[in-house]
Structures are given as structure tokens and as C-alpha cells.
């Protein structure tokens, strides 16, 4: 079983005719994802790759194709409005890959989503993938994933791939892998996904990868302590990061003691999480946790 996306997913790609959108939409299609529509204003009525109809608006696309997941490859200046357009069209799940969206624009989006059932993954994330359902929504390399019973949640796209590659090499398959992104204002959180994985009868354990900045990992630790009965392997990167300096992601800035990697590791360990000593030890730590 998987969470969020599966064989019933009907994908719509906003920005499908752009360079990045076109490249990654094709990779999703090749992986087996049911890609039913693209949206590019002014290109409505055309057909992408001789297979997928392109529409001027998300509302038109949903009306004609019953799309239920949106994948956004729209430039940063327009990405917030793209998220809101899919939300208003009734799309229940949105994955926004775009990085560099202004923080105040995401504040506006977050406020709007609070009163809406739409779930946002990202922005500035690799998306999500459910190997057993052959469903890939984003930019992750599909070939390293294999079906299985371990969920993966990560703030870092690159470390998501590293974790998956190690798990696969050890014969440990994945149920669903989700990159939540590293921006300070985002959609779905560690806690949201931990709840879904805890409730999924076909996910046996979870890998959680955090980084410096904010308190997302401490919130995850509190939830794990109170509600999660499945093994969780954790890694927090940025132990040696200097205070006040941005490290990769906009949200990866130490702005207080709680934002430090060592404080996050402490909270997770106290919640019973199996801490991977380094990024190279994620897979073996999970193997040990599974017994």
C-alpha cells in the first residue's frame, strides 16, 4: 500500500510545455504515472508529446480529465498563483517543485490553504513517489526505488535519493517517499506524514531526514513519542553549520538553540528514534531497526 498517490492518481502538470516541466513530465510518464493533462496559458488545444492534452487553465483540465493531482513547474514569480489556481479547481493534492518563491507569497498561500482541504507538498521539493503503484510525481530518479514497506520523509531532495539508494541496495523496499522541501514556509509537515505512515498497514517503518533551521524535527519527535509505534530512523544534517548562515535551503538557517542539529538529534533520540550516525549509515541503521 502507499500513501497520497497510487494507481488511481490522475496527474496534471502545470508548466508542461516549459523545459523543466516537459523533461520531468516525460520521466513521470515513462515511470508509469497516469499523466492526463498539462496546463500552459495560451497553449490550450494543443497536444504534448502526441499524447497529453494541454489546457489554458487548471479548471478546464480538471473538468475534462478528472485530474486529481497537480505537479507544478512554474517560475517562482508565478508559482504561488499556480498553487492557488489548482486549489480553487478542487485538486486535492499539489506538489510544487519550484524553488525561490518569495516568502511573503508562501505566507499568503499557507493562509489560504488553512481553510481548504487541498494538501500541498513543497515548494522547493523533489515531490513524491510510490514504487509499488508505479506512480512518480516529481523529479526523483525512479530507477533507484523499489516496492516495499518503508516510508521516507525528507527535507532534503538529495538525501532522499541517498536514503532510497541505500535501502534498495540492502533489499529494503519503499512504500512511499516524500520530499517535503526545505523552505521556511511549506505545506505538508513531518507530523502530517508520520500520521499517514503510522495509519498505513503496509508501512512497517519510516526514515525521517531533517536539517538545521526551524523546529520541524522537534515537532516530529513529540508526535513520535506520543503516537508512532513503528520504528523510525532519523538523520539530521548540519552539525557543523555556523549560526546565521544559510546552508542550501532557505529554511536551513540556525536562528536559535532549537534550530541546531544537535538539539534536533537530542529530541528525536529521546523520542525513541534510531539515529543514523551519518548520511552513509541510513540504510544499515534501518536494517538494524527492523531486526
User: What is the set of domains in the chain, with CATH numbers?
Assistant: 11-121 (3.40.50.720), 140-290 (3.40.50.261)
C-alpha cell at 26: 516525460
Q: What is the pLDDT of residue 257?
A: 53
Q: What is the pLDDT of residue 212?
A: 84
Using the structure block, give the residue that is written with the C-alpha cell 538529534.
265
Q: What is the pLDDT of residue 252?
A: 45
Q: Alpha-carbon distance 111 to 150, whole Å?
A: 32
How many helices and strands (H and E) does the chain possess? 9, 14
User: With contact defined as beta carbons under 8 Å apart, do 136 and 127 qualify?
Assistant: yes
Q: What is the pLDDT of residue 248?
A: 52
> Which positions ≥6 away from 95 have C-beta within 8 Å?
69, 70, 71, 72, 120, 121, 122, 125, 127, 128, 137, 138
Using the structure block, give the residue that is written with the C-alpha cell 539515529.
275
Q: What is the pLDDT of residue 237?
A: 87
pLDDT in tens, the chain (291 residues): 689 999 999 999 999 999 999 999 999 999 999 999 999 999 999 999 999 999 999 999 999 999 999 999 999 999 999 999 999 999 999 999 999 999 999 999 999 999 899 999 999 999 999 999 999 999 999 999 999 999 999 999 999 999 999 999 999 999 999 999 989 899 999 999 999 999 999 999 999 999 888 889 999 999 999 999 999 999 998 664 455 554 455 444 445 555 778 899 999 999 999 999 999 999 999 999 998
Q: Alpha-carbon distance 174 to 142, whole Å?
A: 12
Task: List, in sequence order, every beta strand (DSSP E) within 118-254.
Answer: 119-121, 127-130, 135-138, 147-154, 174-179, 205-211, 232-237
Q: Check: pTM over 0.95? Answer yes or no.
A: no
User: What is the gyration radius of the CA atoms in the chain, in angstroms?
Assistant: 18
- Catalytic residue IDs: 249
Q: Alpha-carbon distance 39 to 100, whole Å?
A: 21
- In three-state secondary structure terms, 272 is coil
Amino acid at each position: 500500500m502507499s500513501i497520497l498517490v497510487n494507481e488511481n492518481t490522475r496527474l496534471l502538470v502545470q508548466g508542461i510545455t516549459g523545459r523543466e516541466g516537459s523533461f520531468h513530465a516525460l520521466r513521470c510518464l515513462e515511470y508509469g504515472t497516469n499523466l492526463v493533462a498539462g496546463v500552459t496559458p495560451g497553449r490550450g488545444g494543443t497536444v504534448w508529446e502526441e499524447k497529453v492534452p494541454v489546457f489554458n487553465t487548471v479548471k478546464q483540465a480538471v473538468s475534462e480529465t478528472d485530474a486529481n493531482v497537480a505537479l507544478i513547474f512554474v517560475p517562482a514569480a508565478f508559482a504561488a498563483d499556480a498553487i492557488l489556481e489548482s486549489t480553487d479547481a478542487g485538486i486535492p493534492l499539489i506538489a510544487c517543485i519550484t524553488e525561490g518563491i518569495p516568502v511573503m507569497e508562501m505566507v499568503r498561500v499557507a493562509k489560504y490553504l488553512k481553510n481548504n482541504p487541498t494538501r500541498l507538498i513543497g515548494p522547493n521539493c523533489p515531490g513524491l513517489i510510490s514504487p509499488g503503484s508505479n506512480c512518480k510525481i516529481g523529479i526523483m530518479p525512479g530507477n533507484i526505488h523499489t516496492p516495499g514497506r518503508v516510508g521516507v520523509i525528507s527535507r532534503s531532495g538529495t538525501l532522499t535519493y541517498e536514503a532510497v539508494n541505500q535501502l534498495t541496495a540492502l533489499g529494503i523496499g519503499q512504500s512511499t517517499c516524500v520530499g517535503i522541501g526545505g523552505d521556511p514556509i511549506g505545506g505538508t509537515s513531518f507530523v502530517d506524514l508520520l500520521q499517514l505512515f503510522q495509519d498505513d498497514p503496509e508501512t512497517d517503518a519510516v526514515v525521517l531526514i531533517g536539517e538545521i533551521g526551524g523546529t520541524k524535527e522537534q515537532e516530529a519527535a513529540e508526535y513520535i513519542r506520543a503516537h508512532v509505534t513503528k520504528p523510525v530512523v532519523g538523520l539530521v544534517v548540519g552539525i557543523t553549520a555556523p549560526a546565521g548562515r544559510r546552508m542550501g535551503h532557505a529554511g536551513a538557517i540556525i536562528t536559535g538553540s532549537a534550530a541546531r542539529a544537535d538539539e534536533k538529534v537530542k529530541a528525536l533520540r529521546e523520542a525513541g528514534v534510531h539515529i543514523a550516525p551519518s548520511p552513509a549509515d541510513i540504510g544499515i541503521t534501518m536494517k538494524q531497526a527492523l531486526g
